[in-house]
Chains A and B, each alone.
Chain A
């Protein structure tokens, strides 16, 4: 999927594996003094239950639009250079990256704060859902209904 969104931001909802290093390289500019990244990975447990794998479902056109909107919010609040936000869909095994956010900025504080803001907003408003598969059952994870 081609990059889209404000400026040179990279916004992606994809069933292909995510490559955090490639995204970090893609957001670097000559004006960047810092690149902050967050990588969400699949863990083997949730609320005391064993997790075997996850399946992520998305509403892709809206998810990409929401990601681009969040990137725009980050840009309004912090002086940052480029943003990459990518979320995986489909079946993911333990240890695989489900979400990657990378922010470049002239200075570290802007990059770190914008990156932290980005993952919190993704969890509030981007239409993506995860289903947990345990040893002998599966269950949709229901997010916090108080947002978006």
Chain B
């Protein structure tokens, strides 16, 4: 299945991309997606903090199961205000 991955703030700068199209096996979780991203972009694993994740505009945990066409967002802990 194809998932659109959106990257923000420090992750956007680290990867030099703000959007990726990635292929995952059916049943893949957000955690699986992060592992695959770390293999492709080792720099991701060098952060001193873990990313937060959202699927289709809602915060989700690493256990969330992805579906075809989902928009998965990866970003650092928020710092607005």
For B73, give its contact among A56, A59, A98, A130 (CB under 8 Å): A59
* A99 & B81 in contact (Cβ 8 Å cutoff): yes
Q: How far is the CB of B7 from chain A (nearest CB, A)?
A: 10
- Given A125-B59, A129-B9, A148-B59, the answer on whether A142 and B76 have CB atoms closer than 8 Å is yes
Q: Mark B42-71, 1 if CB is under 8 A from A, else 0.
A: 000000011010100111000000000000
Most buried by B among A87, A128, A144: A128
Within 8 A of B (CB), among A81-102: 87, 98-99
* A145 & B52 in contact (Cβ 8 Å cutoff): yes
Q: Mark A122-140, 1 if CB is under 8 A from B, else 0.
A: 1111111111000000001
Within 8 A of B (CB), among A58-72: 58-59, 61-63, 65
List of A residues within 8 angstroms of B10 by Cβ: 129, 140, 142
